[in-house]
Amino acid sequence: MTKTSLSILAFASMLLSSTAYAAPVEVTLWHMEQPPHRVARVQELIDAFNASHPEIVVKQEPQSWGEVYAKVPAALAAGAGPDMLFAIPDFAPILKKTGALTSVADFVAELDKKHKFIPSTVQSYSYDGGVWAIPLYNMSMNLWYRKSDLEKAGLKVPATWEEWEAAAKALSQGGAYGVGVPANKQLYTDQTVYSLMVNGGATEIYNEDGTLRFDNPETVGAFEFYTKLNKLSPPDSTSWTWGEAEACFVSKSCGMIMQFSVISTYDTQGGGEPSDLGVAAIPTEEAGAEANTIAYANAVMLLSKDDAKTKASQEFIAWLLEPENYGKFLNMEPGLFMPVTEDGAKAETFWNDPMVEKYKSQIETVIANSKNGRLFGFTSGRTFPSIAAISAQNLIAETLQDIVVAGTDAKGAVAQGQARMVEASK
Amino acid sequence: MRNPTLLAFVFVAPAMSVLLLILGWPLVSAIILSLQDVRSVGSPGAWIGLDNYAKLLADPSLWRATGMSIAWVAANAVLQTALAMIAALVLSQNFPGVRIARTWIILTWIVPTVVVVIIWRWLFSTSGGMINPLIVQSGLSARPIGFFSTPWMAFATLVFINSWRWFPFVTLMLLAGMTRIPGDLYEAARIDGASAWKRFSRITWPLLKPTLGVLSVVGTLLSFNVFDIIWLMTAGGPAGGTRTLPVLIYETAFKGYRLSEAATMSVIATVLLLTFALLTVRSLDRQEERE
């Protein structure tokens, strides 16, 4: 081989190696924010990140909550899983159990120094000596109503269960339903029922030792009251998910509903004047008691075992939590996703969104309500893996269906519910 | 090759190999899984022999779901056959636009399930749906009806929606069967003064029996395995009122994280369906031989 050809080969190999070195790291994000406008907003952010970080390429693949519990373990087993995956607290233990997760405690601590996480949002993912996901946004359940409806009926905003039932009865007129609460065997029903349980003294479903304490008089009381509300709800509430409840409220068929947020639907589907939209904390059983609610700290889990991909994923998440980007991210659904960091709660990008400006007072109330957020199975500072199966099987909602559909009394249904939870925990 | 039987096997072998691979392997995998204790996809599981079979065969929820599946198949068979027979009899006539009608009838069948679900959920909704206002305004009911509010209502509504979706398929099969009936039989019956009912009951129905026999096997297998429409409409609810065997299998595998138990149920369901198919096909063969 001549010197010239050797030189050409050496130069070509240098070129090849430098090309390989410069190849961007590709990371895939799976999230469950499927509505097209949310996908578009996530894409906007990804495009901005990719443009400012030429060494990384982030791609999104929207998934459905209905399928993701089954899809992710299968995809990971086949080696085709995502590098980043959005999560709610009860989803993380499933993946942790399969060995797919590594603790992100150090990364979360680093982000916390800079942005100050709301402690409860990190707590939902902190157990077994690690932190298993990075909190991204918060969602909390609220009571939505029209101020004019209550004024017309001479009612004040219900703060107790008694006032709530009275208001629901008063608003049940002219073919409208005073309240709309779901009774489907589905996650939305789990959320609304638990929102009553936490306001009726039934926050904990586990004892200290991990045994179940779902079957107790407070839980029975919450189910009894929920059943009263359901009787004042539309008859098809047994098949409702979030969308049907919002449709019922926006079409004025329901006087009040429990929902994370109705702002987007209310605003875009002709729900009424922004100033007429009322939001309050979920009423409590006892007058003067502190109002609680269910709150979901949504987070992102890192699944890649490749160091370069993990670093690229961390880079993207750190960028996303910067206040100048974070507000845009939260406002993919204005009024629904609340900040989990202190600087995020003050971010101009969050408060300057036109929809947020229009519904500022409602959003402030939602943020205030979310501070007393609880999530079943994640309330005592310890997390028991069986909560994943209890949540995935919607056993709280199934207990309600036993009462509302099958006609079982609340005491018997709650006892059956606990038995199912014990079976699911095995 | 002189041995024709051997030659036949050689020709059939490639197709059989493909069939074994795409049908046999999943079945073998399910059987292997049913003998283990695997909880979720990708996690390991210990060998436990026939424990899953012993546990599930004694579990009332399996038999309730099997009973629900049998009721689902029977209700769909009756409604779909009735609707399809009426449609086929109409479409077998010659009238202006019959060709267009024969094409358009398959529309409900080709619409994706998700679209079917969205359409019917909206139509039956009490908030903004079209059916409830009609019912209330016509005085049939003072209040809107919750079509998915009780197990019985949800079951009946689902049967209706599924039959609406699938009856065009049955109609096409019956129409194909009707074209094989010689026209001169009807001609002769008309000359003999036979009424329309007599022509149907003495000519159409008996000569359609082979088609109906094939349909009973295919339709049962298709109906039994319907999962998408039930899951998307009611997810097996309310209160388990529409929890057929496929729904229970899905719930067990992907909600309850008991993959091996779900595989066991699948094997049991396969055995039940295979037995049914073999018995029906044998009975049809015998009937054909007798005729």
Q: B216-275 pLDDT, tens per residue?
A: 888 999 999 999 999 999 989 898 999 999 999 999 998 888 999 999 999 999 999 999
The answer, yes or no, to whether residue A377 has pLDDT greater than 90, is no
What are the CA-CA distances from residue A316 to residues A54, A90, A117, B148 (Å)? 12, 24, 17, 44
Last-in-domain residue among A349, A370, A391: A370
A28 and A152 part of one domain: no
The range of the structural domain enclosing residue A66 comes to: 24-139+296-370
CB contact under 8 A, A235 and B126: yes
Mean pLDDT computed over A302-326 = 96
Give yes or no for residue A4 having a pLDDT over 60: no
pLDDT reading at B192 higher than 80: yes
| Chain B nearest C-alpha distance from A66 (Å) | 10
Supply the pTM of this predicted model.
0.83
**Phi, psi of A31, deg, nearest 5:** -140, 165
Distance CA A181, CA A222 (A): 13
Q: Which residues contact B216 (CB under 8 A, 6 or more apart)?
A: B77, B280
Confidence of residue B158 (pLDDT cuts 50, 70, 90): very high
pLDDT at A59: 97
The whole-angstrom separation of Cα A29 and Cα A42 is 10
Clarify whether residues A379 and A230 are in a common domain: yes
Q: Parse chain B into domains and list their residue ranges.
A: 50-290
* A145 inside domain: yes
**Which of helix, strand or coil describes residue A45?**
helix
Q: Do A392 and B257 touch (CB under 8 A)?
A: yes
| Cα(A350)–Cα(A328) distance, integer angstroms | 6
- pLDDT above 90: residue A375: no
User: Cα distance from B149 to chain A (closest Cα, Å)?
Assistant: 5
Mean per-residue pLDDT over chain B, rounded:
91
In total, how many domains does chain A have?
2
Between A165 and A89, residue with greater pLDDT: A165
Q: Is the dihedral of CA A167, A170, A174, A180 positive or negative?
A: positive
Res A387: pLDDT:
85
Residue A3 is assigned to a structural domain of this protein: no
pLDDT in tens, B17-56: 998 888 888 899 999 999 999 987 777 889 999 999 999 9
Angstrom distance (rounded) from CA B150 to CA A109: 50
Q: Is residue A123 part of a domain?
A: yes
> Which tens digit of pLDDT belongs to each residue from A119-172?
888 988 988 889 999 999 999 999 999 999 999 999 999 999 999 999 999 999
Q: Point out the least confidently predicted range of A63-67, A135-139, A144-148, A379-383.
A: A379-383
Q: Kind of pairing, strands A293-302 and A134-140? A: antiparallel
CATH number at residue A305: 3.40.190.10
Distance CA A300, CA B34 (A): 34
Q: Determine the average pLDDT of the residues in A238-262.
A: 93
Residue A21 has pLDDT above 80, yes or no: no
Same domain, A90 and A179: no
ipTM score assigned to the predicted complex: 0.78
* Chain B touched by A389 (CB under 8 Å): yes
Confidence band for A18, pLDDT divided at 50, 70 and 90 = very low
The pLDDT assigned to A13 comes to 54
pLDDT score of B164? 94
CATH of the domain spanning B50-290, picked from 3.40.50.2300, 1.10.510.10, 1.10.3720.10, 2.10.109.10: 1.10.3720.10
3-state secondary structure A318-336: HHHCCHHHHHHHHCCCCCC
Contacts of A73 in chain B (CB under 8 A): 40-43
Helix (H, G, I), strand (E, B) or coil at A156: coil
- Of B48, B124, B21, B90, the residue nearest A237 (C-alpha): B124
CA distance A312 to chain B (A): 26
Q: Do A189 and A279 belong to one domain?
A: yes
